[in-house]
Amino acid sequence: MTRKCLPALVLFFLCFFSLNLKAQDYKNAIGVRLGTYTGVNFKTFLNADDALDFNLSFRTHNGYKDVRLTGLYQIHAPIEDVPGLRWYYGFGASIGSQKYQDDSGLFFSIDGVAGLDYKFGGAPINLALDWRPRLELSPDANVTASDIGLAVRFTF
């Protein structure tokens, strides 16, 4: 009886553990995010599917000077037909400072994110293209949906 159960038991454990050993192409990545806000970007995976993404971004436009620190929680899923390509979505928050001529202020927003993440096979390079809508809570309530960016990162 044990001999007949052993292959089934081994198959069960192989299947169970293979579900938890999904391919994760990298653990950490650092680089730049270019777009509406441009700055330094750092991403770290908590497990195979969940990541934290941090940005210190800058923007100068129409007399405004912005500095923004953003933290996002992202959930990744593979795109089966393309090795190294995953899509993701998530949420987070930003805090920053905005200066216009002699006036300056602190702002806070709740952010969303949706995008594509690609890790080049055999090279420590990662690209991500994302869209980040946000609900600005201070100093004025506003919805912004125009933040699109490209991250170019070194993976390790």
Contact 90, 67 (CB under 8 A): no
Alpha helices (H) in the chain, listed in sequence order: 2-20
Instruction: Output the CATH code of domain 2-155.
Output: 2.40.160.20
Residue 139 has pLDDT above 50, yes or no: yes
Calculate what percentage of the chain has a pLDDT beyond 70: 85
Q: In the beta sheet, which residues pair with residue 107?
A: 96
Residue 52 has pLDDT above 90, yes or no: yes
Tell which residue, 87, 84, 63, has the closest CA to residue 74: 87
Q: In the beta sheet, which residues pair with residue 128?
A: 117, 151
Calculate what percentage of the chain has a pLDDT beyond 90: 73
Enumerate residues 6+ apart whose C-beta is below 8 A from 62: none
Residue 7 has pLDDT above 80, yes or no: no
In the chain, where are the structural domains located?
2-155
Encoded tokens for 68: 């923004």
